[in-house]
Amino acid sequence: MKVIAYLLGFGHIVFGTYLILYTKESVSVLKGLFNTYQLKYLAAIPAVYALLFLVSASATTHPWVLRIVGILAVVEAVVAFTNPKKIYGQVLDWYFDSLSDQANRLFGIIGVVFGTAILTWIQ
Protein backbone atom coordinates (compact mmCIF):
# COMPACT_ATOMS: atom_id res chain seq x y z
CA MET A 1 0.00 0.00 0.00
CA LYS A 2 2.79 2.39 0.85
CA VAL A 3 4.47 1.75 -2.48
CA ILE A 4 1.29 2.77 -4.32
CA ALA A 5 1.02 5.91 -2.18
CA TYR A 6 4.65 6.77 -2.96
CA LEU A 7 4.03 6.24 -6.67
CA LEU A 8 0.94 8.46 -6.57
CA GLY A 9 2.79 11.20 -4.69
CA PHE A 10 5.85 11.17 -6.94
CA GLY A 11 3.62 10.85 -10.02
CA HIS A 12 1.72 13.99 -9.07
CA ILE A 13 4.95 15.86 -8.46
CA VAL A 14 6.43 14.75 -11.79
CA PHE A 15 3.33 15.54 -13.84
CA GLY A 16 2.78 18.85 -12.05
CA THR A 17 6.39 19.86 -12.65
CA TYR A 18 6.11 18.89 -16.31
CA LEU A 19 2.93 20.96 -16.58
CA ILE A 20 4.64 23.96 -14.99
CA LEU A 21 7.85 23.81 -17.01
CA TYR A 22 6.49 22.66 -20.38
CA THR A 23 2.97 24.03 -20.42
CA LYS A 24 2.30 24.13 -24.16
CA GLU A 25 3.97 20.78 -24.80
CA SER A 26 2.05 19.00 -22.04
CA VAL A 27 -1.27 20.41 -23.23
CA SER A 28 -0.49 19.38 -26.81
CA VAL A 29 0.40 15.85 -25.65
CA LEU A 30 -2.90 15.58 -23.78
CA LYS A 31 -4.80 17.00 -26.76
CA GLY A 32 -3.14 14.46 -29.04
CA LEU A 33 -4.08 11.69 -26.63
CA PHE A 34 -7.74 12.72 -26.65
CA ASN A 35 -7.71 13.12 -30.44
CA THR A 36 -6.12 9.69 -30.98
CA TYR A 37 -8.22 7.49 -28.71
CA GLN A 38 -11.94 7.31 -28.06
CA LEU A 39 -13.19 8.76 -24.82
CA LYS A 40 -14.64 5.41 -23.74
CA TYR A 41 -11.18 3.86 -23.82
CA LEU A 42 -9.60 6.78 -22.01
CA ALA A 43 -12.20 6.45 -19.24
CA ALA A 44 -10.16 3.50 -17.98
CA ILE A 45 -7.39 5.88 -16.86
CA PRO A 46 -9.39 7.65 -14.10
CA ALA A 47 -10.92 4.29 -13.16
CA VAL A 48 -7.48 2.79 -12.50
CA TYR A 49 -6.43 6.03 -10.84
CA ALA A 50 -9.45 5.77 -8.53
CA LEU A 51 -8.61 2.18 -7.67
CA LEU A 52 -5.04 3.14 -6.77
CA PHE A 53 -6.23 5.97 -4.53
CA LEU A 54 -8.82 3.81 -2.79
CA VAL A 55 -6.35 0.97 -2.22
CA SER A 56 -3.57 3.20 -0.90
CA ALA A 57 -5.78 5.33 1.34
CA SER A 58 -5.28 3.06 4.36
CA ALA A 59 -1.50 3.63 4.25
CA THR A 60 -1.83 7.36 4.98
CA THR A 61 -2.60 9.43 8.05
CA HIS A 62 -5.48 11.19 6.28
CA PRO A 63 -7.22 8.38 4.37
CA TRP A 64 -10.43 10.34 3.91
CA VAL A 65 -8.69 12.78 1.53
CA LEU A 66 -7.46 9.98 -0.70
CA ARG A 67 -10.84 8.27 -0.57
CA ILE A 68 -12.58 11.48 -1.65
CA VAL A 69 -10.14 11.87 -4.55
CA GLY A 70 -10.71 8.21 -5.45
CA ILE A 71 -14.49 8.65 -5.44
CA LEU A 72 -14.17 11.79 -7.58
CA ALA A 73 -12.03 9.81 -10.02
CA VAL A 74 -14.74 7.12 -10.18
CA VAL A 75 -17.31 9.82 -10.97
CA GLU A 76 -15.02 11.22 -13.66
CA ALA A 77 -14.58 7.76 -15.19
CA VAL A 78 -18.34 7.21 -15.30
CA VAL A 79 -18.97 10.64 -16.82
CA ALA A 80 -16.20 10.12 -19.38
CA PHE A 81 -17.55 6.68 -20.30
CA THR A 82 -21.19 7.70 -20.61
CA ASN A 83 -20.58 11.32 -21.72
CA PRO A 84 -24.13 12.60 -21.14
CA LYS A 85 -25.07 15.47 -23.47
CA LYS A 86 -21.43 15.59 -24.63
CA ILE A 87 -20.50 17.40 -21.42
CA TYR A 88 -17.04 15.82 -21.21
CA GLY A 89 -16.28 16.99 -24.74
CA GLN A 90 -17.29 20.52 -23.76
CA VAL A 91 -14.97 20.42 -20.75
CA LEU A 92 -12.13 19.19 -22.97
CA ASP A 93 -12.81 21.95 -25.48
CA TRP A 94 -12.71 24.50 -22.69
CA TYR A 95 -9.47 23.04 -21.30
CA PHE A 96 -7.65 22.79 -24.63
CA ASP A 97 -8.92 25.92 -26.36
CA SER A 98 -9.72 28.67 -23.88
CA LEU A 99 -7.69 27.97 -20.74
CA SER A 100 -4.64 30.20 -20.33
CA ASP A 101 -1.08 29.07 -19.69
CA GLN A 102 -1.20 30.57 -16.22
CA ALA A 103 -4.21 28.42 -15.32
CA ASN A 104 -2.39 25.32 -16.55
CA ARG A 105 0.62 26.27 -14.45
CA LEU A 106 -1.73 26.72 -11.48
CA PHE A 107 -2.97 23.16 -12.03
CA GLY A 108 0.67 22.08 -12.06
CA ILE A 109 1.36 23.87 -8.78
CA ILE A 110 -1.71 22.24 -7.23
CA GLY A 111 -0.44 18.86 -8.45
CA VAL A 112 2.99 19.41 -6.91
CA VAL A 113 1.46 20.50 -3.60
CA PHE A 114 -0.95 17.55 -3.58
CA GLY A 115 1.85 15.11 -4.42
CA THR A 116 3.97 16.52 -1.61
CA ALA A 117 1.02 16.23 0.77
CA ILE A 118 0.53 12.58 -0.18
CA LEU A 119 4.19 11.88 0.50
CA THR A 120 4.04 13.56 3.92
CA TRP A 121 0.88 11.69 4.90
CA ILE A 122 2.33 8.22 4.36
CA GLN A 123 2.53 6.34 7.67
The reply to whether the predicted model has a pTM over 0.95 is no
Cα(95)–Cα(106) distance, integer angstroms: 13
pLDDT for 1-56, tens place per residue?
A: 899 999 999 999 999 999 999 999 999 999 999 999 999 999 999 999 999 999 99
User: How many domains does the structure of the chain reveal?
Assistant: 1
pLDDT for 58-107, tens place per residue?
A: 999 999 999 999 999 999 999 999 988 889 889 999 999 899 999 999 99
Q: Which domain holds residue 15?
A: 2-121
Cα(80)–Cα(43) distance, integer angstroms: 5
User: Contact 119/9 with Cβ under 8 angstroms?
Assistant: yes
